[in-house]
Structure 1
Amino acid sequence: MLPNAYTNTMSRRRFCKSLLAISASICITPALSSCSVHAPDLFASAYTDNQGKHFVGWFDQNGNVLGSVSIESRAHDLCYVPHDHSLLAFSRRPGRTMYVIDIKAKKIKLQIDSGDNHHFFGHGVLSSDGKRLYTTENRFDDSYQAYQGLVVVRNTRDYKVEARFNSGGIGPHQLAMLKHQDTLVVANGGIHTHPASPRTKLNIDTMKPNLSYIDIGTGQVVEQVMPPDHQLSTRHLCLSGDDTVYVGCQYQGPAHHIQPLVFSHNRGSQLEALTANDTQWRSFKQYIASLAVSHDGNTLAVTSPRGGVVGHWNRRSKTLQHIETKIDCAGIAPLKDTFISSTGNGALYAKKQQINHALHWDNHMINI
């Protein structure tokens, strides 16, 4: 099912060419995210239509929607599985469903439940060979006291659970696979919540966010760093080609406090705040959603839906280059030497043009 309205209608010829492009991209890359991409012209994101129904849709670099699949619950982030043309859609916290979507057939192949007393945090990543899926999850009991952040390992044949290990903290959110090591990096947000009251933050005064590196062979945390303020929830991240980790934070302290919200990290060092002045940091309204590095490796872009802005940093100098105003901005992904981005109001910004759709994009976007 396609959205009710969008600006440019796809011709049959263009649609067929786009499917061929998807097939070609499968031979190019093992695992894709908004920060690690090789196929530059096809993208996917979750969205909700104006009637409140939830979907996963995919589109080209011009912002033309090529196809979509209806899902029962709202999804957050996606992951592309090249060997069988699948998109994985992870329920938004505290959802318990993962959808395996066949792009060619435009249908759900499998619907995976997180299991009793478990819920997803909306993110997952593939191993470098595409044979394993790693998801961030929470184990809880009926009380508000017992909880554990987990990374859960499933195969990508039938998505059966093969292992579980500690994420290194509370509230694990986005994770990534380092390109040059058999190591995961996980952003543990530090915030304790419970499905009985999913938007209530139960430990703001005592939260301990961190960035944890986990050996995928042993499941052991091999390195961990913490932000300079314990209320800087380390929520989202992305990788550059040299395995530099960029972390976007969501500050849980007083509204009038100004904190740096974006950090870089290389193993063996501490988190390093990217440079911006107080007025610029204030424009992000204490909230970073999505991060992406340009294909040429020169620029890091981050979105702030609350602030309605997209920030662009020079990766070499770590200084803020400019801020774009984009009301209710959402996902972002690299497109050649620039970026493609979305908004909660249905807009796709690509190639210096705005394509409007009658829907609401979620906060993350990937290349497929």
Structure 2
Amino acid sequence: MVTDQARRRLLKAALFGAATPMLPFGCGSISKPTLRTPALIGCALSGRERFNVVVADQQGQPISELPLPSRGHGVAINAPVGHAVVFARRPGDYLMVFDYQRGELIQLRQADARRHYYGHGVYSSDGQWLYVTEGDRSTSRGIIGVYEVATGYQKRDEFTGFGLGPHEVISMPNGTLAIGVGGVHTHGREPMNLDRMRPSLSYVSSQGHLLDQITLADKKLSIRHLAHDGNKTVLCGQQYRGQTEGNPALLSMHTQGEGMIDLQAEPEQWARFNHYIASIAATEEWILATSPRGNCYGIWSKRDLKLVELAPLPDASGVVVFDNVFRVSSGAGSVISQSNPHDKTVLRSSIQWDNHWNAIV
């Protein structure tokens, strides 16, 4: 149920729906409209209980921002129509559609009765549909909500039958949906079934048919975040829900019809990630994964799947790729530009980045 307090937050955000112009560094007056091209979008913090979604250029420098009613998480982008959607952090009670070119609010939608959002969604490759990870509030039954763009994001269908607690959904190049299913029933954010977890990587057709489902050997590894390598391989980032002293592999890869393969690192290196992988991205040669809880990110070789760099970064958050170069965000305002291990440039932005980035392509 959406509380009165949540409704007030939603109304406040809707009323304050105009883009906030950014100030140039070192300047005390409002700048003229920027000519920089929007390239990435991510959520941010801007003070106590103040949350924004920020449109930025390729260097992570802000162009415009919109206020959010509560903390945001993931973003989906529909470049052909210039729309983006930001999803509330789980258990979320809103999604917000906006025009990222103009910085204008289009729609602020509350979760349906007895539903909550899990923080992620993705558009279909043709941009006509938005697929959103949702759950039944009382049971955590996993749902993919299907929304039609042309009708103002009316909900047209719900896909289910793949498990409890889906978190991220991505669209593969062939249109298949890959879903990171955590397998955890939660009350709010409190886990209720850690002794009976059933996490999986599930593949669902665009019509809602379950095509394939694979699990990890360690059932305490809750699959959370996903990416694909531009072809047929899904990269899976896990949250470990087992014993505190355990340090299993937190990053795996899978191609339909084959087995799950763990990426390699020493136990003490996995320990640095503090049991949690957040954002993942891949270039032709490298895979990069962040851990805000571990204040670090790692780079693996795609050729031999071995960890080749483990770098400190306070509140390491989102990662995207532009022209085969990684951009990594930080809650401390740092932006890392890195094309290969040990060759990086550190930039600064005025934004306290939070959770994930998504590239406009």
TM-score by length of 1: 0.86
Q: In the alignment, is residue 159 of structure 1 matched against residue 165 of structure 2?
A: no
Equivalent residue, structure 2, for 1:184: 177
Aligned letter for 2:189?
R
Distance apart, 1:167 and its partner CA: 5.4
Q: In the alignment, is residue 278 of structure 1 matched against residue 272 of structure 2?
A: no
Residues 131 and 307 (structure 1), Cα distance of their counterparts in 2 relative to 1, 3 Å cut: same
Equivalent residue, structure 2, for 1:201: 191
Contact 1:167 1:188 in 2 (8 A): no
Q: Which runs of 4+ in 1 moved over 4 A?
A: 2-13
SS of residue matched to 1:241: coil
Residues 241 and 7 (structure 1), Cα distance of their counterparts in 2 relative to 1, 3 Å cut: farther
Contact 1:43 1:58 in 2 (8 A): yes
Aligned letter for 2:184?
I
- Whole-Å separation in 2 of the counterparts to 1:332 and 1:76: 14
Contact 1:251 1:287 in 2 (8 A): yes
Distance apart, 1:129 and its partner CA: 0.5
Structure with higher strand content: 2
**TM-superposition CA deviations, 1:51-91 (whole Å, max 9, x none):** 43111101112232111111212110001112321111011
Query: Where do 1:168-247 residues align within 5 Å?
Result: 168-180=162-174, 182-194=175-187, 198-217=188-207, 219-247=208-236
SS of residue matched to 2:270: helix
Aligned letter for 2:238?
C
Contact 1:258 1:281 in 2 (8 A): yes
**TM-superposition CA deviations, 1:133-175 (whole Å, max 9, x none):** 100000134xxxx341101111112100111011511110111
Q: Which has the higher contact order (CA 8 A, sep 6+)?
A: 1
Aligned letter for 1:354?
L
Contact 2:44 2:354 in 1 (8 A): yes
Equivalent residue, structure 1, for 2:356: 364
Residues 129 and 356 (structure 1), Cα distance of their counterparts in 2 relative to 1, 3 Å cut: closer
Equivalent residue, structure 2, for 1:29: none
Count matched residues: 333
SS of residue matched to 1:169: strand
**TM-superposition CA deviations, 1:239-280 (whole Å, max 9, x none):** 011120000000001111120100000011121101111221
TM-score by length of 2: 0.87
Aligned letter for 2:45?
T
SS of residue matched to 2:190: coil
- Whole-Å separation in 1 of the counterparts to 2:248 and 2:256: 23
- Whole-Å separation in 1 of the counterparts to 2:172 and 2:124: 9
- Whole-Å separation in 2 of the counterparts to 1:306 and 1:70: 25
Distance apart, 1:236 and its partner CA: 0.4
Residues 139 and 59 (structure 1), Cα distance of their counterparts in 2 relative to 1, 3 Å cut: same
Equivalent residue, structure 2, for 1:64: 61
Listed as ranges, the gaps of 5+ residues in structure 2 are 1-19, 339-344
SS of residue matched to 2:163: coil
- Whole-Å separation in 1 of the counterparts to 2:297 and 2:359: 19
